[in-house]
Amino acid sequence: MPDSAAMPSPAETGQAVENWPVPCTILNESGASDWVLVCEHASAHVPAEYARLGLGEAERRAHIAWDPGAAELTRALSQRLDATATLANYSRLLIDLNRPIDSPASIPEMSEETAIPGNIGITALERARRIDRIFTPFHDSVTALLDARAAAGRRTRLLALHSFTPVFRNVARPWHLGVLSGASRPLAERFVAEVTARDATITAALDEPYKVEEGDDMAIPVHGDARGLDALLLEVRNDTLDAPASVEAWAETIAAALERL
């Protein structure tokens, strides 16, 4: 695929725009739970005009493009908890909704070991287009949802849901579950204790497979800590989310632990 700097985007050429869903799907908006679920990497969707960003179909469906199993887990938890959930409808390769727009990982030219041809050398206009069409409306939706709950006097606790690969750059990751947090570290510790007490076969760890960083994450620092909310980010190893029964088992375990916090 030609360098994007040499190939104007459809927005620049006036080409018709198709295959653009709404930026996010909100489930169970009137749910009774205190927990609000956010899944920023729920979809691998890339509009047809981007020609898969120059990737093969297998690469576009791999973990670099989304978090496999995270959407299914979010939906299952929304039902079990009677919780509101917001799920993104675009691949993080277009723009990562859990990264500030000034982060180098916002629109990655390289993801893990894979070059992303359609992101190399993109124009300022194309970058702004993705921010305006995907990033800003997604976060505006989350903000509006949280503002409405605050105005109604509702208690709110934030839960971001992700999945991770069993092996990263040839290094095995032994955990089944990572629990990440910022200001809510005591709550994260209690959550790990509740999960492992319920199922001793689960290997759970704090701040794995990475740590929340204020300048490199969105959900916890911006929508959680900045509002003074309880806020956790869960990372579930994606090979344990590879079947409906596995997703339901995780949803049961996580929901039971959350309800005891």
Q: Give per-residue pLDDT as tens, 183-206.
A: 999 999 999 999 999 999 999 999
Residue 170, pLDDT score:
80
pTM to 2 decimals? 0.90
What's the alpha-carbon Rg for the chain, to the nearest Å?
Answer: 18
- Whether residue 53 is predicted with pLDDT greater than 60 in this model: the reply is yes
User: How far apart (Å, rounded) are the C-alpha atoms in residues 41 and 88?
Assistant: 6
pLDDT in tens, 107-153: 999 988 899 999 999 999 999 999 999 999 999 999 999 999 999 99
- Calculate the alpha carbon distances from 175 to 105, 165, 258 in Å: 24, 10, 19
**Within 13 A of 28's CA, how many CA atoms are on the CB side?**
20
Average pLDDT over residues 49-70: 92
Look up the CATH superfamily of 10-258: Zn-dependent exopeptidases (3.40.630.40)
More confident residue, 170 or 103: 103
Q: Where are the domains of the chain?
A: 10-258
- The number of helices, as runs of H, and strands, as runs of E, in the chain is 7, 11
Residue 45, pLDDT score:
96
pLDDT in tens, 81-117: 999 999 999 999 999 999 999 998 999 999 888 999 9
Residue 151, pLDDT score:
97
Average pLDDT of every residue of the chain: 91
Q: What's the CA dihedral at 40, 45, 50, 56 to 10 degrees?
A: 110
More confident residue, 171 or 39: 39
Cβ–Cβ under 8 Å, residues 156 and 186: no
- Whether residue 207 is predicted with pLDDT greater than 90 in this model: the reply is yes
Residue 18, pLDDT score:
60
- Whether residue 171 is predicted with pLDDT greater than 90 in this model: the reply is no
- Whether residue 7 is predicted with pLDDT greater than 70 in this model: the reply is no
DSSP 131: I
pLDDT in tens, 29-48: 999 999 999 999 999 999 99
User: How far apart (Å, rounded) are the C-alpha atoms in residues 169 and 150?
Assistant: 42
